[in-house]
Each structure stands twice: as structure tokens, then as C-alpha cells.
Amino acid sequence: MPLDPVLDGLRADARALLPETAALRHALHRTPEVGLHLPRTQALVLEALEPLGLEVTTGTALSSVTAVLRGARPGPAVLLRADMDALPVAEESGEPFASEVPGAMHACGHDLHVAGLVAAARLLAARRDELAGSVVLMFQPGEEGDHGARLMIEEGVLDAAGERVVAAYGLHVLSAILPTGAVTSRPGTLLAAADTVHVTVHGRGGHGSMPHLAQDPVPVAAEIVLALQAMVTRQFDVFDPVVVTVGRIEAGTTDNVIPADARLEATVRTFSEAVHGVVPERLTRVCEGVAAAHGLSATVDYQRGYPVTSNRPEEVERLARLVAGTFGDRAYVTAAQPLAGSEDFSYVLQQVPGTYLGVGATLADADPRTAPYNHSAHARFEDGALAVGPAVLAALALDRLAEG
Ligand SMILES: [Zn+2]
């Protein structure tokens, strides 16, 4: 196919920036930080953005960085996002730039996201004259369970350019599954919602030989575990599924004493906001109802995690077109089904149209089917992905802004 000169320029410039981008990634990788407060990571981001002349602000509740790049021409604003946090994992990757912080590792590749968004900022800053509008760069701590994206939304990141952004894009690198350079996404649900439930069954303790004088919570807890599996298959459409896994169950101290209560902990995964919305009520009804059937009671503490990550079909079409135009027709792969992982960029996509995407970062000499996956202490990510992700993000921003 004929090369689009704009896309070809982005591809070539991202490739030329690769040594610099990889060096920043290695610096970030050496000093991983976990959670919402990442002062060293924030300092590296601020230093890298310094020469670009952006409007930079930092967060209050978390060590985020928001930077606004103004184009030479008027137009709307779009948002590009990178998460910044590492995991509490002791690194065993063997990389020469491995973590120097005991017990912390960039095992999910967020170091590539940060360095990649800096590179995208450099690509876009070099094209200010062609930019019709603004680009908000969202550097976000606390993706791994701390709701950092929600906190940044509360601190105004979606309006950082002075008006609400009209589109938002983010990406995740994958150390397995996809070869380096491949880009994947899908219209609609890309990632699951993930909730946590704690159930306590309240009975009355007693002697194991005389259960009729007690109220035994153990068989009730066992029945709840099974009833939840029946709920999943009988109350929900098999094509809009629910996964409930009771990962922890606890009661009692010894064989001949009936305990006073029993506790269950479960994770709940759902793939549409409609189902995500009704699951808490139905699950609570099952737990309370089973307990009541036996004359006991149950309390259910249902904690909502991240929402479903849902992509706008027209933004996925844009992505597929731009990836093919930049890296060739075979670079974009439509994901056949959602992944059961979850992601707090979902909070952004609840409010703004856009898309989330995956970028292959399997080491060149590794097999995508067997390479250690994200979150593994052995996970390794190919620097070459940093020649792809930034060009794609910059292309998305330029293309969306050109639409007005
Ligand atoms: Zn991640």
C-alpha cells in the first residue's frame, strides 16, 4: 500500500528516538515504585518533559503528572495516558537494568508506558504546527488496585486543557501472547470488571456432637459456595458471562467445636456494565437467602473494583486503520475475545470515547506462547515495542484532532 507521509514520518521518528526512549525506560526500570506515591518516577517524568515546553501540573492525592501540549492551530483536546506504578515482586528477569529496589519490579511493563508516552510527547511537540488542538498527557500512579485513574479524574485531568477532552487513548505492553510490533484491540469490551466480596455467615457455636443446639455456619457456607456457581450459570447469559471464584474460606478451630461464624472471600469478573450493575444484588440475595433457609444470617461486603474497559467501535476502526497505515496490514490483530484482566483506564473510557490497546513486547528470541507473562518475576519486555507504541499514540492524537 502507498505510505501515508505523516504516518511514515511518525514511524521513522519513533525509530530514531528509540535509543533515548529505551534509556529512559531502563532508568525507570531500575527504580520501581509501588502505589500512589512515586516520587522518583515523577521526577524522571518531569525532567524528561522539561525541554518540551508543556503546561505541567502535578497531583495532590497522588504523584501524578499532567502535561498539556498546545498545537499551533485551534481545535479540541485529546488525552493520552500512561500508568507509572510497579508491583511488589522481587525481580528475577536477569536484565542488566533490573530493579535496584528490593521487592519491587516493573513486572507489568509500566516503565515502557511512561517512556513511551514521553516519546509520543516528543513526536507531537515536533509537529506542533500540524496540531489542531491540544494533547493532554496523563502520567498516572496507582493502576495496580489503587484507582489512580479515578483520583486523577477527580483532580480534573479530563479538563486539564481548559475543556473536556473529546477522546482518550491508552495502551498496555504484553511480554507474551503477541510478537513485538503487533497491536491488538477490539470494539466493545476489552477487559473485565473485577470486584471483591467478603461474606460472613453468622451462626451460633456449640458442641460438635449436638448440632441441633447450635447454628452451624459451616454447611451454610459450603452451600453458598455451590449456590453461587448455580447463580452464575442459571441467572446470567452464557454469552455475557460472570466468573465467581471463592478463593478463601475460613471457619472454626478444631473438629468437635461448631464455630460461631464462617467467612468466604471471592473475586467476581463481569464483561458488561449491565451485568456488573446487577451482580451485587443477586449475589447478596443468594448468600442471605441460603443462610435464611437454615435459620442463620449472612452479611455481604461487596467492594466494587475497576469497571469494564469498553472501547468505542469507531475509535477501534481508527486504530486499525492507523496501525495498518504505519506498520503494514498485518500489524493490527483483532482480539477474538476480551481478556479477564481489568484496568482503571476504564474510568476514563466511561466518560470519554476512546480505545485501549495492547502492544506486543515479547522478546525477539522468545515464543509468545510460552514467554513469562506480565506480573511474573521473570517477565521481560522487548525495547523494540518502544518504536511502535509512541508512533501509534501520536498517530491517534493527530488523526482525532484533524477531525475537529
Ligand atoms: Zn499493567
Q: Are 401 and 78 in contact (CB under 8 A)?
A: yes
Supply the CATH classification number for the domain 193-303.
Answer: 3.30.70.360
- pLDDT above 90 (res 397): yes
**Annotated catalytic residue: which of 13, 33, 83, 85?**
85
pLDDT at res. 1:
46
pLDDT in tens, 187-243: 999 999 999 999 999 999 999 999 999 999 999 999 999 999 999 999 999 999 999
Length of the chain: 404
Q: Is 106 annotated as a binding residue?
A: no
Read off φ and ψ for residue 178, nearest 5 degrees. -115, 140
CA of 322 from ligand 1 middle (Å) equals 24
C-alpha cell of 152?
486523577
CA of 139 from ligand 1 middle (Å) equals 13
Sign of the dihedral through C-alpha 11, 74, 117, 189: negative
pLDDT at res. 3:
62
- pLDDT above 90 (res 389): yes
CA of 182 from ligand 1 middle (Å) equals 17
Q: Is 29 annotated as a binding residue?
A: no
**Closest to 348 measured CA to CA, from 170, 193, 194:** 170
User: 5-189+308-402 and 193-303 share one CATH topology?
Assistant: no
- Beta bridge partners, 297, equal 202
How far is residue 92's CA from residue 89's CA, in Å, rounded to a whole number? 9
4 is catalytic: no
Q: Is 287 annotated as a binding residue?
A: no
- pLDDT above 90 (res 53): yes
CA of 136 from ligand 1 middle (Å) equals 21
**Annotated catalytic residue: which of 83, 111, 143, 195?**
143
Homologous superfamily (CATH) of 5-189+308-402 is Zn peptidases (3.40.630.10)
Q: Is 108 annotated as a binding residue?
A: yes
How far is residue 340's CA from residue 190's CA, in Å, rounded to a whole number? 9
CA of 403 from ligand 1 middle (Å) equals 30
Q: Is 276 annotated as a binding residue?
A: no
Q: Are 259 and 203 in contact (CB under 8 A)?
A: yes
317 is catalytic: no
**Domain-by-domain residue ranges, the chain?**
5-189+308-402, 193-303
